[in-house]
Amino acid sequence: MSAAVSPGMAEYFASNPDLRYILFGGKGGLGKTTLSAATAHWLARRGKRVCVFSTDPQASLSDIFERKIFGQGEVELASNLFAVEIDADRRIAEYQEEIRNKIKDMYKMETIPEEVEDYINSSAAEPAMAESATFDAMVELMTAGKFDYYVFDMMPHGHAIRFLGMADILDQWVEKIVTVRKKAGEYGEAATVMGNKGSLVQEDLVLKELEYIRGRLDFVSTMVRDRKHTAFFYVLVPELMPILDTRKALEMFREFNVTVSGVVVNQVYPKELKDQTDVPGFLKNKISSQQEYVHQIQNEFGGLIRGIVPMLDREPKGLQMISKVADILYGA
């Protein structure tokens, strides 16, 4: 049912054979998860080992695949098809415990000093904490390199942009921190050489941690800009707000030097319905208004449209329905 669409999804994959990371962004509730799942399904069907990952805090891969995926690690759904849904809270709790143990180990402490404990606890309440934990899990999954393709169902766009912005800003910060740390080390060393004072035991360890943090951030900011290996699709529906949101997102991504590979128009009512006599006026109005917006989308994002997916008569749940969406999006 795909209308006159400039190079569709399947063509895009065919002309970019080195793709590894497929990202789906867009406002909440427009079907990012469905399209991510469908893409993963299509790739798996073609014999590729695929992992679909949700970075959305309201992750719903579990609902779509009708399997318990949340917090279960890499769950195999079909041959070659795996899904991961991060339990950010649990990950944070484990991470905090790891830090506590490290402190106890390093200083042979029985209990953590109160102010340190307070700090560890309050850090979990930070909203950025869940994002960072998910971000970290995402990088971990990608660097492990167990799959041919990684399909990411990104968080709604505001978050996604922050996600990208964060990597850049942090990268610069870490750079500065490393400089300060190295300078401190030099002065300490001078003091040690001259007067046998100060110790440098932890210097290297701190720098190593900083390098680790930077490595993680660099990976993501390089990945999202690497058009050879990464494709970034934006999902919208023919309504005013999603169009405005997409326009804004494309502008913002441009600012971050991220090129959007295409947009997918989802949940489009079949326009043939309008000509049927038994269709109520309510629905006919909805279809007319959608068609106007479809035209607007074609005018505004024309060359970027990679697919138009109709509204289905049933919720796209379960492998069979996902497979059907994949057929629509990529051609059977």
Chain contacts with another protein (rule: CB under 8 A): 95-96, 99, 102-103, 106-107, 113, 115-116, 119-120, 123, 126, 128-129, 132-133, 136, 166, 170, 173, 176-177, 180-181, 183-184, 187-188, 190-191, 194-198, 202, 205-206, 209-210, 212-213
Rounded to the nearest whole angstrom, what is the least distance from the CB of residue 283 to another protein in the complex? 47
State which residue, 74 or 136, has the beta carbon closest to another protein. Answer: 136
Q: Which amino acid is at 280?
A: P
Chain centre to alpha carbon of residue 34: 14
Residue 32 tokens read as: 């990012």
Minimum CB–partner distance for residue 130 and another protein (Å): 9
Cα–Cα distance between 13 and 82 in angstroms, integer?
A: 20
- Closest to another protein by CB, 207 vs 312, is 207
* Nearest to another protein of 1, 184 (CB atom): 184
CA distance 318 to 66: 6
To the nearest whole angstrom, how small is the minimum distance from the Cβ of residue 312 to another protein?
39
> Residue 163 Cβ, how far from another protein at the closest point, in Å?
11
Q: Which residues fall within 8 angstroms of residue 323, CB to CB, at 6 or more apart?
A: 38, 41, 45
Helices (H) and strands (E) in the chain, counts: 11, 8
**Cβ-proximal residues to 284 (8 Å cutoff; 6+ apart), any chain:** 273, 274
Q: How far is the CB of 98 from another protein (least distance, A)?
A: 9
Choice between 206 and 312, CB closer to another protein: 206
Q: What single-letter DSSP state applies at residue 155?
A: P
Cβ proximity to another protein: between 11 and 136 the closer is 136
Task: Specify burial of residue 264 (Cβ count, 10 A radius: 0-12, 13-18, 19+).
Answer: buried
